Amino acid sequence: VYILAIESSCDETAAAVVKNGREILSNVISSQIDLHTLYGGVVPEIASRKHIEKINQVIESALLESGLTLENMDAIGVTYGPGLVGALLVGVAEAKAMAYAANKPLVGVHHIEGHVSANFIEHPDLEPPFMCLIVSGGHTHLVIVRDYGEFEILGRTRDDAAGEAFDKVARAVGLGYPGGPKVDKAAKEGNPQAIKFPRAKVDGNRYDFSFSGLKSAVLNHINHANMMGEEINVPDLLASFQNAVVDVLVSHTVDAAKEYGFKKVAIAGGVASNSALRKGMKEACEKNGITFYYPSPIYCTDNAAMIGTAAYYEFINGARADWDLNAVPNLKLGER
Ligand code: ATP
Ligand code: MG
Ligand code: FE
């Protein structure tokens, strides 16, 4: 089964050809990061325009690199939510037009299901059920992946997403957008124990997350130092912040895996490429006899290969989108 997958939910225009769900024949990504860096974040209107400009050539390259043609495809998969509505619409309209013209089935894919599915690409042995921590620019969810496309949410963030916290703290110390990778790099030179930042406590669900308090603590630390005319050790600050985030992410995930009796843990989303998170999760899993799965960085941030993998499992389970498939900017995990 060959799937042509299209992803345009945020600031990456991407297309991929995926064979039988787990074999990536091509994975083309055109990133707009340089453009949005000028504004310190993603500008939705610019993102939509850029997607329109790039999408045809990205799809053409993906088909060309796969050595196949549109005729060879069994279905077209496309991200229809969540994300920026104007950005999503470009991919959805393109996928519908191609599917209609070539008389191919159309499959709508949930972007976050795509992030989770990135784990299947490089781990042929990984199959549901397993525990998965989803940490991206807009989401922080701890879920049980019951089956392909079937999620039980154990915990979620009450405020900022993990990636959002990284981006905001990066901005506060003058690192540009996107901040996550820059914080990761700078923190390598710092001492993670230098500053004791609070570990977020939330009432109620013990698997929920909260990062706004930590973000405020970091900003207060900076303001206080500025007021006192003290110099800030930026690497120490970032390493300590990152340590606080990773601590909570790892402990929630491993606690849940133990409580629910899972011996397999995966991570997904842009923040899953964070080196401290990978290291912390690996150590905690090893200590508890849990096998830890994580995608290569290229499959952590937005890409179409992961969308093709998710589309494959939706497709073989009989999912077909109608010609009225629309972009759903606030699509929830587990909804269709
Ligand atoms: P969503 O998937 O929730 O709709 P998104 O698609 O914008 O949001 P992703 O592309 O999955 O998010 O991830 C981007 C986020 O990952 C950004 O917030 C970025 O700062 C963060 N990120 C990327 N690399 C790292 C890293 N090495 N360390 C920490 N954060 C990182
Ligand atoms: Mg992006
Ligand atoms: Fe994403």
pLDDT, tens digit (0-9, with 9 covering 90-100), for 182-216 = 999 999 999 999 999 998 778 899 999 999 999 99
Pairing of strands 12-19, 2-7: antiparallel
Q: Which residue has the higher pLDDT, 202 or 257?
A: 257
Ligand 2 center from residue 16 Cα (angstroms): 16
Q: How far is the CA of 336 from the centre of ligand 2 (A)?
A: 23
For residue 336, pLDDT beyond 80: no
Beta strand pairing call for 106-110 and 75-81: parallel
CA 82 – ligand 3 centroid, Å: 9
Residue among 172, 192, 191 nearest 182 (CA): 172
- Separation CA 247–CA 234 (nearest Å): 20
Q: Percentage of the chain with pLDDT > 70?
A: 100
Atom of ligand 1 nearest to the CA of 162: 18
Q: Do the strands 264-268 and 150-156 form a parallel or antiparallel pair, or are they unpaired? A: unpaired
The pLDDT assigned to 199 comes to: 87
78: which strand partners? 6, 108
The bound ligand whose nearest atom lies closest to the alpha carbon of 185 is 1
Helix (H), strand (E) at residue 170: helix 162-172
pLDDT above 90 coverage of the chain, percent: 94
pLDDT at 176: 86
**Residue 182: what pLDDT?**
97
| 83 C-beta closer than 6 A to ligand 1 | yes
What's the rounded Cα separation, in Å, for the pair 169 and 132?
A: 25
Report which protein residue has its CA nearest ligand 1's atom 13. Answer: 270
What tokens were used for 56? Answer: 């045809």
pLDDT at 335 over 80: no
Tokens of 309: 């993998």
Q: Is 135 marked within a binding site?
A: yes
Tell me how far apart the alpha carbons of residues 183 and 177 are, in angstroms, rounded to a whole number: 11
ipTM metric: 0.98
Measured in whole angstroms, the distance separating CA 64 from the mean position of its chain's CA atoms is 27
Does the pLDDT of residue 303 top 80, yes or no?
A: yes
Give pLDDT, residue 92.
98
136 is in an annotated binding site: yes
Q: What are phi and psi of 122, to 5 degrees?
A: -105, 5
Tell whether the model's pLDDT for residue 33 goes beyond 80.
yes
Does residue 16 have its Cβ closer than 6 Å to ligand 1?
Answer: no
- The verdict on whether residue 224 carries a ligand-binding annotation is no
* Mean per-residue pLDDT of the chain: 97
Q: How confident is the model at residue 37 (pLDDT cuts 50, 70, 90)?
A: confident
Cα(124)–Cα(309) distance, rounded to whole angstroms?
A: 12
Q: Cβ–Cβ contacts within 10 Å for residue 287, how many?
A: 9
pTM, 2 dp: 0.97
**Checking DSSP bridges between strand 23-31 and strand 12-19, what pairing results, if any?**
antiparallel
**Residue nearest ligand 1's atom 3 by CA:** 138
Query: Does residue 81 line the site of ligand 1, with CB under 6 A?
Result: no
pLDDT in tens, 55-109: 999 999 999 999 999 999 999 999 999 999 999 999 999 999 999 999 999 999 9
**pLDDT at residue 333 is higher than 80:** yes
Q: Which amino acid is at 145?
A: V
